[in-house]
Amino acid sequence: MRVAVLGAGGTIAPAIVRDLAESDEAESLALLDIDLERAKRVADAHGGGKAEARLADARSGLAGQLDEADVLVNSASYRINLDAMRACLEAGVHYLDLGGLYHVTAEQLELNGEFESAGLLALLGIGSAPGKTNLLAACAVAELGSEPERIDVYAGGRNLEPSPGISFPYAVQTLLDELTLPPMTLQAGRTVELEPMQDGGTVDFGDPIGEGETIYTLHSETLTFGDSFGAADVTFRLSLPPAVLEALRELVSADADRVAEVARSASPPSPKTVSVHLVEATGSGRMARARSVTPPREEWGLGGGIVSTASPAAAAVRLLARGQIEARGALPPERCIDPEEMFTELRTRGVRFEIDAPQPAGVAAR
């Protein structure tokens, strides 16, 4: 399969490129970015001889850059998701992205009919969260054995060897959007808006993170899980290292120039991070829990925080190439991917999964 990667010079793309370069299913990689030099550095460092860097702008002429591609993996800002999707429709190319927070995802889902009619897949949110969390939810619900009343999603990441300075797990502006835009939850089947950065309580993520404070943030799981699983209540909570959260709080009221300056001066993401995702499904007085742990990928020189987001996207390309994803349309992962097929792929990248049998509700992780 011929793969194009948009935003190839960004934070997550190097791990996607490295993963696909080591995948037999990826015949060639076109690394697209508005900064050609950044894309070239990624091609040289991670492309394994399969990658070619190209100058590209999602909002201008992207379809023409996809004429030799079978699928586009969009790892650029979620703000250009719709532009990239329309370019894929024009070029006749499958589409994958890492998520659209909440509101952009809602707009993307409206293109379902167009992608289905074109015989194309638009896989919306196949990173760590959304992405892995959607499939963990499917496993928890299946283990529960009945329609869930409630689904709670928790994401946490930590640097196992903290060093001086601040580094951010992914794009600073996206993090700020998650923290400053009102979180959306599903409560009694109705969408309810919370206060930005509302306290989500303490969660035990298990080894190697342990307990961590959380906040509610804006995420698309709360948009799709109601329809996908029949849950009346859905939440998403994030746990960031305290120093990172404090740095982001200081940027909430900063102007765009200050945000860009901090992003430029930040340390690169640590190669020693670990990422943990936890999903609890509750119903009929019982709760089932599914958890994933992504450690650093030492041979790539990349931390688990980056690999956790990148590896599901690369795995989805392999599954699509092998015909293991047959659905067409604009869909979230839980509606078109078999969780065990995805988890089998991710285990080859060092990801660990735990699916716990149901227990009485109230024996929770918070």
- For 133-180, the pLDDT digits (tens) are 999 999 999 999 999 999 999 999 998 887 667 777 777 878 888 888
pLDDT at 364 over 50: no
pTM of the entire structure? 0.94
Q: In the CATH hierarchy, which top-level class contains the domain 132-303+350-360?
A: alpha beta
Would you say residue 365 has pLDDT above 50?
no
Percent of the chain topping pLDDT 90: 83
Between 319 and 240, residue with greater pLDDT: 319
Confidence at 363, pLDDT banded by 50, 70, 90: low
Asked whether residue 366 carries a pLDDT value surpassing 80, the answer given is no
Stretch(es) of the chain classified as CATH 3.40.50.720 = 2-123
Q: Across residues 58-69, what is the average pLDDT? A: 95
pLDDT over 70, % of the chain: 98
pLDDT, tens only, 245-284: 888 888 888 888 888 888 777 777 788 999 999 999 999 9
Upstream peptide bond of 332 is cis (omega within 30 degrees of 0): no
Q: Does domain 2-123 have CATH number 3.40.50.720?
A: yes
| CATH 3.30.360.10, the chain: domain bounds | 132-303+350-360
Residue 164: predicted pLDDT: 67
